[in-house]
Structure 1
Amino acid sequence: MTLNRIRNVAFLSTYPSRECGLATFTQDLVRALDDVDLIDSPKVIAVSDSDEYQYSDRVIMEISQYDRNSYIKAAKQINKSDIELVVIEHEYGIFGGEAGEYILDFAKNLEIPFVTTLHTVLPCPGEKEREVLRELGKRSAKVVTMAKNTKPLLKDVYEMDLSKVEVIHHGVPYRILESREKLKEKHGFSGKNVISTFGLLSPGKGLEYGIEAVAKVVKEHKDMVYLILGQTHPAIKKRSGEEYREKLIAKVNELGIGDHVIFVDKYLTKDEIIQYLRMSDIYMTPYLGKDQAVSGTLAYAVGYGRVIVSTPYRYAEEMLSEGRGLLAEFRNSDSLAEKLKYVIENPEEKKEMENKTLSLGRTMMWEDIARQYAKMFIKTVEEVRLKDSVVV
């Protein structure tokens, strides 16, 4: 049964001008889907935690994050609309209630199929976290994960039916850019070994270990510069101001490496992120938590073929397998330093790692990822329609 008509899809997620990785992900995906003929321009149901956000016309309704009734009301409104499929972008801290349980009120009241995309898969969830995700998985027509190595968890921990689980990579924006050397020259880093980390700053990023590692390597490699790119996460800023950034700056000063560590304290545009990545010799993610199932920043670094030095969180383990980067131990600056030195001192190996990473990165551009999502959406709607039309 093939229905050759345009699908109306809506994404339930945070959305710019709210500043968070999930909002950027959703904006990138819906824009890429605009160019896929089979899908009508996708709409967004934005989850708002305040009234300060200015949304584009793409946002057709808002859910108030901490208001349970808002979720029910939104589901009922969608049921009366021409939307055929909803995509729930699931991340912790985005939905109200204990362990984000208000999203279940939305799911239970929705009368059309929905797909759930998972941005974090906890291997050892609390009872409530497990219950919420298990229930969401049960009610979903499809579940998208961005790493194959989360599938056993979805089955064993969350009791999900693996026949409805799809693996689709995190997307990466495509840009044609000048060479690494030209960009270094433009930014005043000619002749430097550039290490970078980008994303919203928060204590879980483990940047203190990255700074300590740089202090160890710089003794032998004076041409090294470490760029810490991005502003403090708005939720952290609201709670504790710039305490974490100030601690990092104090550590840099204490270690006497002020000339080798540069903080770029701003919310970076995608073009800025990609330019910084393009001029980096090494991309470093010294994250502290094993459980991170996806990292948009790491996906971008893979997309642009950078050598990555990372702690072995779940997503990094998968993306850096087959010689695409180097894994260091958690909370261990000696281990990070050893991996940084290895890359700097072995240019041939570095080149080989870059090529391996780039060959995976080329499959992760948003254009390809959007096509994969579109095919899945159409198949999902058709399967549900077919099931509903079978007379028992």
Structure 2
Amino acid sequence: MNAPSLVNHLAAPFGMQGFSYLPSFGVLSTYAPTACGLATFSAALADGLSAKGVDVNVVRISDGTPSESPKVIGELTNGSAPSVAAASQLLNRSDVAVIQHEYGIYGGPDGDEVVQIMKGLDVPAIVIAHTVLKDPTPHQRSVLEEVLALADHVVVMSESAQERLYAGFAVDRRKVTIIPHGAALPTATALKRSGQPTILTWGLLGPGKGVERVIDAMVSLKNLPHRPRYLIAGRTHPKVLAAEGEAYREALTAQAQRLGVADAVSFDARYRTPAQLTALMQAASVVVLPYDSKDQVTSGVLVDSIASGRPIVATAFPHAIELLGSGAGTVVGHDDPDALVEALRRLLNDPRVAGTMASQARNLAPAMAWPVVSDSYLTVAQRLVAIRLAAA
């Protein structure tokens, strides 16, 4: 059988009939117990693939704390040439390598050590680009362009990320696809909310989260018939904690006290499992993402909040503009405090508006479910394996 025929033979079953061969995955990423969004994403993707019978092995970027996960087969120590070489060889044990790309997680200037890891790969590589900067430095651009050139396939998680990648970076568009960020869908119906309304912001805490905006807004909301409380749920980001301690959390507490709303603003730094986070979101009246960033093309917190089926208010970062435009939430300007107050007031005062938004959020959720997302990655991997076999 010639090469094109073999490709067609292997690729034909990729549709509804499935493909009998399940390629193994080697994933290079931060991973539990590291507390960051990328580690959470990688764990959820690994679990989603494993649930389909796929063998998943993780090469974890070390943070000094060992992992007890049986999926972790080795660790990458940034700044160590032997470790960089070993990481490539560990990934080569699988049929396909998945490279999670963020500038800040790898060694070298702008994380350029990942390039050496990719040059050592003998297996097809899927790069997941979590950050696509609008205005990268020349070196940031060259690092990502080299990563893109070495990749067999590139995944972005939003249309805005794809547009930005095409506009700002040299990349072969034929190997770029959009696969949404996955989300865990609720397994139980939300309980009827009663009592004091809750405005929720959740996720790892640190400067840039924009919590100050909502604390300011609470001054204008305290005279509502049903005065809301503002809950900020999440631990301080480990890197922020190491560099600055709890200075940001303490500054927010002081702000609430200074504005006279401390009795309506509370912090909860407890660790929560994904199921507990879903329950927390479902109990909220509205979820707020008041981020400072105007650059964020992927937000796992946004996707999980949509999947929870709650109405959302967010500042105008690219992923929020894209996903909430259908009516699942309200987008407000970063420098428009009156719009934030009005959006929250409307949701808290008018159950019909909140209900319409929540319904639209629930409509978006199924396409983001981790089983669906994991299927998309599996299909990409099967195609890459088929092409590699055909070329052998």
Residue 178 of structure 1: how far off its partner (Å): 4.7
Residue 222 of structure 1: how far off its partner (Å): 4.3
Q: Deviations over 1:179-230 (max 9, x none)?
A: 332xx5xxxxx32221101000010111111111122222334420111000
Say yes or no: does 1:59 pair with 2:72. yes
Range moving further from structure 2, 314-323 or 340-349: 340-349
Runs of 5+ consecutive residues of structure 2 not aligned to the other structure:
1-8, 11-18
Residue 345 of structure 1: how far off its partner (Å): 2.5
Letter in 1 for 2:35: E
Q: 324, 331, 345: which is aligned to 2:328?
A: 324
| Matched-pair contact (CA < 8 Å) for 1:197–1:228 | yes
After TM superposition, list the pairs within 5 Å mapping 1:258-277 onto structure 2. 258-277=262-281
* Other-structure match for 2:45: 29
**Distance in structure 2 (CA, Å) of the matches to 1:274 and 1:77:** 35
| Matched-pair contact (CA < 8 Å) for 2:200–2:287 | yes
Residue 329 of structure 1: how far off its partner (Å): 1.1
**Distance in structure 1 (CA, Å) of the matches to 2:220 and 2:389:** 61
Say yes or no: does 1:217 pair with 2:221. yes
Q: 1:112 to 1:134 in 2, by over 3 A?
A: same
Residue 55 of structure 1: how far off its partner (Å): 2.8
Residue 138 of structure 1: how far off its partner (Å): 1.1
Residue 113 of structure 1: how far off its partner (Å): 1.0
**SS at 2:128's partner residue?**
strand
Range moving further from structure 2, 260-269 or 303-312: 260-269
Q: 1:193 to 1:72 in 2, by over 3 A?
A: same
**Distance in structure 2 (CA, Å) of the matches to 1:47 and 1:349:** 44
**Distance in structure 1 (CA, Å) of the matches to 2:144 and 2:191:** 43
| Matched-pair contact (CA < 8 Å) for 1:63–1:71 | yes
| Matched-pair contact (CA < 8 Å) for 1:191–1:223 | no
Aligned-residue RMSD, C-alpha:
1.5
TM score, norm. by length of structure 2: 0.92
Letter in 2 for 1:280: A
After TM superposition, list the pairs within 5 Å mapping 1:64-143 onto structure 2. 64-79=77-92, 81=93, 83-143=94-154
Range moving further from structure 2, 327-336 or 14-23: 327-336
Aligned residues: 376
Q: Deviations over 1:9-52 (max 9, x none)?
A: 11100110111111111111111111214xx32110000132x2
Q: 1:266 to 1:324 in 2, by over 3 A?
A: same
**SS at 1:149's partner residue?**
helix
Runs of 5+ consecutive residues of structure 1 not aligned to the other structure:
185-189
Q: Which runs of 4+ in 1 moved over 3 A?
A: 76-79
| Matched-pair contact (CA < 8 Å) for 1:195–1:281 | yes
* Other-structure match for 1:187: none
| Matched-pair contact (CA < 8 Å) for 1:49–1:65 | no
**Distance in structure 2 (CA, Å) of the matches to 1:54 and 1:375:** 29
| Matched-pair contact (CA < 8 Å) for 1:68–1:105 | no
Range moving further from structure 2, 266-275 or 55-64: 266-275
Range moving further from structure 2, 268-277 or 211-220: 211-220
Q: Deviations over 1:97-155 (max 9, x none)?
A: 11110000101111211000111111111111111111111111111111012212111
| Matched-pair contact (CA < 8 Å) for 2:161–2:298 | no
| Matched-pair contact (CA < 8 Å) for 1:308–1:326 | yes
* Other-structure match for 1:43: 57
Q: 343, 348, 353: which is aligned to 2:352?
A: 348
**Distance in structure 2 (CA, Å) of the matches to 1:302 and 1:365:** 11
